[in-house]
């Protein structure tokens, strides 16, 4: 227990974080983790209005400010507006987490140009233009950009090729921005493995999948959130890195 009358010093107190796709699932866990470290948090969302309101309430319950901003970051103008609206409501973001993404099965022979373009627009181009706008707002104070990649960036999944391409591009974006924005802004990526399975995923398949992971289980959103928190607070000499949070799956 803390001694009575003393407040716990929070490492990110007073900073503003923007988490794209922050309304639900993994994004919600990340937003709450940063709020727990004292950040005021803006969450970007597209269609999950009710979940966004619930996440804002949960963040505010931690004693910090929160805002939900609707934007389709697949459109560059909307990505830029998300950043500017965050600054208007909470202040310029010092931490940007590019988490928003779409994930769907796209068999090679049946993938359409529209499907391919949408994966690139949301998962990669959106992160690029959010980063571009956020970096301008960070100015001389510096900041952190943390991209949420995927083990699919390095492993070939034949029925998810456009998704894998978008995440592989996000890894290269991480490296490119780390060099382009040094030394004032650090850019790193977290690459989750099996964390949240799709709804309705067959239980026998889930058990086989968990058994194939060296740690013997799938991960939890808090595992990824902890990795994001690390990059938000780590020494600024760490940049351009990709941290796999996958229970050892990519070590095989």
Q: What is the pLDDT along the chain (252 residues), one digit of tens a residue?
A: 444 444 567 889 999 999 999 999 999 999 999 999 999 999 999 999 999 999 999 999 999 999 999 999 999 999 999 999 999 999 999 999 999 999 999 999 999 999 999 999 999 999 999 999 999 999 888 999 999 999 999 999 999 999 999 999 999 999 999 999 999 999 999 999 999 887 788 889 889 999 999 999 999 999 999 999 999 999 999 999 999 999 999 998
CB 247 within 8 A of CB 154: no
Helix axes 76-90, 126-138, angle to 10 degrees: 40
End-to-end CA distance of the chain: give it in Å, rounded. Answer: 42
Catalytic residue of the set 45, 160, 163, 237: 163
Does residue 163 carry a catalytic annotation? Answer: yes
Helix axes 221-233, 25-36, angle to 10 degrees: 40
In the chain, the domains with their CATH numbers are 16-246 (3.40.50.720)
CB 184 within 8 A of CB 142: yes
Instruction: Kindly report the pTM of this predicted structure.
Output: 0.94
């Amino acid at each position: 227990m803390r001694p009575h009358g003393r407040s716990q010093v929070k490492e990110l107190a007073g900073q503003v974080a923007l988490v794209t796709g922050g309304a639900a699932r993994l994004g919600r866990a990340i937003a709450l983790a940063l709020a727990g470290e004292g950040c005021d948090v803006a969450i970007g969302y597209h269609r999950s209005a009710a979940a966004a309101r619930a996440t804002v309430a949960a963040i505010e319950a931690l004693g910090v400010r929160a805002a939900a901003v609707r934007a389709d970051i697949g459109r560059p103008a909307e990505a830029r507006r998300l950043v500017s609206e965050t600054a208007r409501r909470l202040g310029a973001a010092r931490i940007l987490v590019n988490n928003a993404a779409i994930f769907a099965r796209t068999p090679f022979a049946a993938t359409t140009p529209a499907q391919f373009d949408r994966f690139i627009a949301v998962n990669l181009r959106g992160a690029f233009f959010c980063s571009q706008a956020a970096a301008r707002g960070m100015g001389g104070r510096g900041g952190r950009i943390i991209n949420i990649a995927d083990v699919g960036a390095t492993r070939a999944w034949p029925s998810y090729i456009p998704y894998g391409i978008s995440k592989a591009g996000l890894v290269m974006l991480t490296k490119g921005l780390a060099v382009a924005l040094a030394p004032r802004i650090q850019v790193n990526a977290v690459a989750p493995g099996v964390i949240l399975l799709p709804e309705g995923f067959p239980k026998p398949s889930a058990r086989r999948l968990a058994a194939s992971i060296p740690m013997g289980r799938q991960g939890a959103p808090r595992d990824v959130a902890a990795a994001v928190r690390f990059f938000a607070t780590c020494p600024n000499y760490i940049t351009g890195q990709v941290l796999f949070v996958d229970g050892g799956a990519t070590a095989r």
